[in-house]
């Protein structure tokens, strides 16, 4: 018997291609005759374009064309409800009118034979504006009508609560800032469009381009085999994707468009800034009675972006009374999008900070407080949890982190000039699943090619799908190749929301199960096979060989089976369609952090962190660690470093670069450790997976914030926690 591939700590199967430069990212794809585009961004935050003078740009050697609303064709811009547009029909319509809706909005594009000429040309395009003062400040701006939720009578319960807390938390806008910038190469062959794009969803980009240009989906092919980091930033097709395709059509040549780091800040989405007021009531023993959530988040004037910021407040803890109001505030900004642990991370930062405040107020250990409020069912809808092992996450984490060494009193532990603190927070993320397909082709050499139109922005899709397929086919991982990132492959949902493993993995499993059964049926039905006449249920496949389960000597290889009938291959198409579940499906985690704060400088250093996760079955443990550690690093950024700063006078982002927008570097990242509770959840998916990539990020920022409070006795209710705030 060969060893199981699932659960083995494999390195990335595509790792060698990545470190040797053979992996082709969007802008790397060699395209014959390609020319280059550079976007001209608005230098005002709101208003109208009154004139564009492109003469100097057009006079530049190499410049082929300058496209703006003055000469761009009208595009179809059909509604596209299946994309990750906040609203299917609305989006930024590039070069369709003279309106400026935010600073940096594309107002023209220069196409030239070299990238340098395009960029130089863009700097020579003179755009005149009738500028107005933009509204970019979340505080004080009018909001849309709220999305609401209520159970019980939270206002009444608040009035009669023995203990009442009321806090307002603020979180900064965060940009994804993946290593690979967004880039698109577009090529038209007659009416057919091929696009190489940085995207987490080739199918979504295909649909969007078909809708924008008013052509059939089949006429658009989107290719994206490698994604240099995503964090959610590639979950929809941004305006530059349309611009590249439009420019290619206008100049009759393939066009490459790469956004600069600065342009990413206004050209793609971000985690929106929030103002989150939370009131909570409890009894004196810390049993929650009520929470009231008043939530405000930024969105753009042209789309209403919403995310799952209400979920955690409805089900993380037990309480009879909840009221929530979530208001988006339309501002003169570009539209936000999902970013790691979307919605959940923000809500859990607030809830878990507040729980820490309540624990301190009542003198109860933070873990004990959470234990006292652990629900026995999902109180948002009365459904049982499929699996919920949050208490176990906390218990294991406390033991492994040495929580018993934590002196309860804040500001009571020192190490020279450093104040030392320990904090913890729970994490939760809804288990998402969506319909997916996969196909497999087993060739005469007995090697398998498995394909699905999914992505691998880093979590290890290439590797984990190879593992699932290898076990289902009874092959070693060496004999399986998994390909992804092409809209011509079987369709899959967006590569985000931690749904890839559960959805695509289950489709891969189904495709490979079907193919294995097909091979077994052929063998047992063939008089020339050593397996002839054996009950199919008694045949197993391992190491590429079909054999009687209890008599491994009796059998034959896939090669022998195919060679006998001169079959070039076997093939199958698998699918996964999530059933409506009568269970509440969530992944859980508990994050522990130890920080040191220099009490003279306000400097915060994270010393160590531990995450313990209840995420169902772990397919690929080494890459799960990569996910978990990456989620913690992202959380360090959100907690202590990352903030996109807007100048409210003109709507300009003032730190649109990696020198001024701070992300954690190695010196910021200490000893990190992840533990996964052994288990699986067959309600969540046929392969027992709940999803890992989001939950590992949710809970990190509040664990750090709570540790900072424990170190200093100072409660900072704003992220990131800066040195200035601590002084
Ligand atoms: Mo992640 S925000 O689901 O790419």
Alpha carbons 691 and 503: distance in angstroms, whole number: 10
Question: What is residue 585's three-state secondary structure?
Answer: coil
Nearest CA to ligand 1 atom 4: 232
State phi, psi for 694 to the nearest 5 degrees: -90, -45
The ligand 1 atom nearest the CA atom of 233: 4
Question: Does residue 694 carry a catalytic annotation?
Answer: yes
Question: What is residue 436's three-state secondary structure?
Answer: strand
In this structure, are strands 126-131 and 183-189 parallel, antiparallel, or unpaired?
Answer: unpaired
Alpha helices in 402-444 (DSSP H): none
Centroid of ligand 1 to alpha carbon of 628 (angstroms): 14
Centroid of ligand 1 to alpha carbon of 338 (angstroms): 6
Strands annotated E in 314-373: 321-331
Tokens describing residue 228: 């240099």
The distance in angstroms from the start CA to the end CA of the chain is 63
Centroid of ligand 1 to alpha carbon of 173 (angstroms): 16
Residue 255's Cβ-side half-sphere holds a number of Cα atoms within 13 Å equal to 27
What local confidence, expressed as pLDDT, does residue 1 receive?
41
Nearest Cα residue to 643 out of 651, 631, 654, 632: 654
Alpha helices in 166-276 (DSSP H): 202-213, 239-251, 261-267
In this structure, are strands 255-258 and 183-189 parallel, antiparallel, or unpaired?
Answer: antiparallel
Alpha carbons 177 and 200: distance in angstroms, whole number: 14
Tell me the best of 232, 492, 500 to mutate to test the pocket of ligand 1, counting ligand atoms within 8 Å of each CB and taking the most: 232
- Residue 726's alpha-carbon distances to 446, 567, 606, 703, 720, in angstroms, are 63, 71, 15, 17, 11
Alpha carbons 248 and 423: distance in angstroms, whole number: 53
The ligand 1 atom nearest the CA atom of 231: 4
Centroid of ligand 1 to alpha carbon of 337 (angstroms): 9
Nearest Cα residue to 555 out of 530, 537, 575, 582: 530
The ligand 1 atom nearest the CA atom of 341: 2
Centroid of ligand 1 to alpha carbon of 499 (angstroms): 9
Tokens describing residue 213: 């240009």
The ligand 1 atom nearest the CA atom of 496: 3
Whether the full predicted model's pTM is greater than 0.85, yes or no, is: yes
- Residue 520's alpha-carbon distances to 365, 510, 517, 538, 687, in angstroms, are 58, 15, 5, 10, 22
Q: Which residues contact 718 (CB under 8 A, 6 or more apart)?
A: 169, 170, 171, 172, 725
What local confidence, expressed as pLDDT, does residue 82 receive?
76
Tell me the best of 84, 339, 429, 504 to mutate to test the pocket of ligand 1, counting ligand atoms within 8 Å of each CB and taking the most: 339
Centre a 10 Å sphere on the Cβ of residue 526 and count the other Cβ atoms it contains: 16
The verdict on whether omega for the bond into residue 316 sits within 30 degrees of 0, i.e. cis, is no
Q: What is the dihedral angle through the alpha carbons of 222, 227, 230, 233, rounded to the nearest 10 degrees? A: -30
Q: What single DSSP character describes residue 174? A: B
Tell me the best of 497, 630, 698 to mutate to test the pocket of ligand 1, counting ligand atoms within 8 Å of each CB and taking the most: 497
Centroid of ligand 1 to alpha carbon of 203 (angstroms): 16
Pocket of ligand 1 (CB under 6 A): 200, 230-232, 235, 338-340, 342, 496-497, 694
State phi, psi for 451 to the nearest 5 degrees: -135, 140
Mean pLDDT by 10 residues, the chain (727 residues): 84 97 96 97 98 98 98 95 79 97 98 98 98 97 98 98 98 98 98 98 97 97 98 97 98 98 98 98 98 98 97 98 98 98 98 98 98 98 98 98 98 97 98 98 98 97 98 98 98 98 98 98 98 98 97 98 96 96 98 97 98 98 98 98 98 98 96 97 97 98 98 98 96
CA angle 334, 337, 338 (to 5 degrees): 165
* Active-site annotation holder among 368, 556, 694, 718: 694
Q: Annotate 224-248 with three-state secondary structure.
A: CCCCCCCCCCCCCCCHHHHHHHHHH
Alpha carbons 526 and 503: distance in angstroms, whole number: 35
Helix (H) or strand (E) holding 700: helix 700-712
The ligand 1 atom nearest the CA atom of 200: 4
Question: Are 201 and 461 in contact, with CB atoms under 8 Å apart?
Answer: no
Tokens describing residue 522: 């052929």
Q: What is the dihedral angle through the alpha carbons of 399, 401, 407, 410, rounded to the nearest 10 degrees? A: -130
Question: Are 486 and 223 in contact, with CB atoms under 8 Å apart?
Answer: yes
What local confidence, expressed as pLDDT, does residue 277 receive?
98
């Amino acid at each position: 018997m060969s060893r199981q591939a699932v659960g083995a700590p494999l390195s990335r199967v595509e790792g060698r291609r990545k470190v040797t430069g053979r992996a082709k990212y969007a802008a790397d794809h060699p395209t014959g005759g390609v020319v280059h585009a550079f976007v001209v961004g608005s230098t005002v935050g709101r208003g109208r374009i009154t004139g564009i003078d492109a003469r100097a740009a057009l006079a530049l050697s190499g410049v082929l064309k300058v496209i703006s609303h003055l000469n761009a064709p009208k595009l179809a811009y059909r509604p596209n409800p299946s994309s990750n547009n906040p609203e299917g029909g609305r989006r930024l319509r590039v070069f369709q009118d003279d309106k400026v809706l935010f600073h940096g909005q594309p107002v023209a594009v220069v196409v030239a034979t070299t990238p340098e000429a395009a960029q130089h040309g863009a700097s020579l395009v003179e755009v005149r504006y009738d500028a107005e003062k933009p509204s970019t400040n979340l505080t004080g701006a009018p909001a849309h009508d709220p999305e609401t939720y209520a159970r019980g009578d939270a206002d009444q319960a608040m009035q009669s609560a023995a203990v009442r807390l009321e806090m307002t938390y603020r979180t900064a806008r965060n940009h994804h800032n993946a290593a690979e910038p967004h880039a698109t190469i577009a090529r038209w062959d007659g009416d057919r469009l091929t696009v190489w794009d940085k995207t987490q969803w080739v199918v979504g980009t295909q649909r969007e381009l078909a809708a924008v240009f008013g052509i059939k989906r089949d006429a658009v092919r989107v290719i994206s085999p490698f994604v240099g980091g995503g964090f959610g930033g590639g979950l929809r097709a941004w305006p530059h994707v349309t611009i590249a395709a439009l420019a290619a059509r206008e100049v009759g040549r393939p066009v490459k468009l790469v956004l600069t780091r600065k342009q990413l800040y206004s050209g793609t989405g971000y985690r929106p800034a929030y103002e989150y007021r939370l009131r909570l009531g409890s009894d004196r023993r810390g049993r929650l009675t009520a929470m009231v959530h008043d939530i405000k988040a930024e969105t753009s004037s042209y789309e209403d972006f919403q995310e799952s910021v209400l979920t955690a407040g409805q089900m993380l803890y037990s309480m009879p009374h909840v009221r929530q109001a979530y208001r988006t505030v339309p501002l003169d900004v570009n539209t936000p999008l999902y970013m790691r642990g979307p919605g959940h991370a923000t809500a859990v930062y607030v809830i878990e900070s507040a729980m820490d405040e309540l624990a301190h107020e009542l003198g109860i250990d933070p873990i004990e407080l959470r234990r006292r409020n652990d629900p026995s069912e999902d109180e948002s809808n009365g459904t049982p949890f499929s699996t919920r092992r949050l208490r176990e996450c906390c218990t294991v984490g406390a033991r492994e982190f040495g929580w018993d060494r934590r002196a309860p009193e804040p500001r009571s532990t020192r190490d020279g000039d450093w104040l030392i603190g320990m904090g913890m927070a729970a994490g939760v993320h809804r288990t998402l699943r969506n319909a997916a397909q996969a196909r497999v082709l087993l060739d005469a050499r007995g090697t398998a090619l498995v394909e699905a139109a999914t992505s691998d922005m880093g979590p290890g899709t290439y590797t984990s799908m190879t593992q699932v397929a290898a076990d289902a086919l009874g092959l070693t991982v060496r004999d399986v190749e998994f390909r992804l990132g092409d809209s011509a492959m079987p369709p899959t949902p967006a590569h985000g929301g931690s749904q890839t493993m559960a959805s695509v993995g289950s489709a891969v499993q189904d495709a490979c199960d079907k193919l294995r059964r097909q091979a077994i049926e052929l063998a047992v039905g063939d008089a020339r096979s050593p397996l002839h006449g054996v009950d199919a249920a008694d045949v197993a496949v391992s190491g590429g060989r079909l054999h009687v389960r209890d008599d491994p000597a009796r059998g034959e290889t896939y090669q022998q089976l195919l060679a006998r009938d001169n079959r070039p291959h076997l093939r199958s198409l698998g699918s996964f369609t999530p059933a409506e579940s009568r269970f509440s499906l969530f992944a859980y985690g508990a994050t522990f952090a130890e920080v040191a704060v220099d009490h003279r400088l306000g400097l915060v250093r994270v010393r160590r962190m531990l995450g313990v996760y209840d995420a169902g079955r772990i397919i690929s443990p080494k890459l799960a660690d990569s996910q978990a550690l990456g989620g913690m690093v992202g959380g360090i950024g959100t907690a202590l470093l990352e903030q996109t700063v807007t100048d409210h006078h003109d709507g300009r982002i003032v730190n649109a670069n990696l020198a001024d927008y701070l992300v954690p570097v190695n010196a910021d990242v200490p000893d990190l450790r992840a533990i996964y509770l052994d288990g699986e959840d067959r309600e969540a998916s046929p392969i027992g997976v709940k999803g890992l990539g989001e939950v590992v990020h949710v809970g990190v920022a509040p664990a750090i914030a709570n540790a900072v409070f424990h170190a200093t006795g100072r409660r900072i209710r704003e992220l990131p926690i800066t040195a200035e705030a601590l002084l």
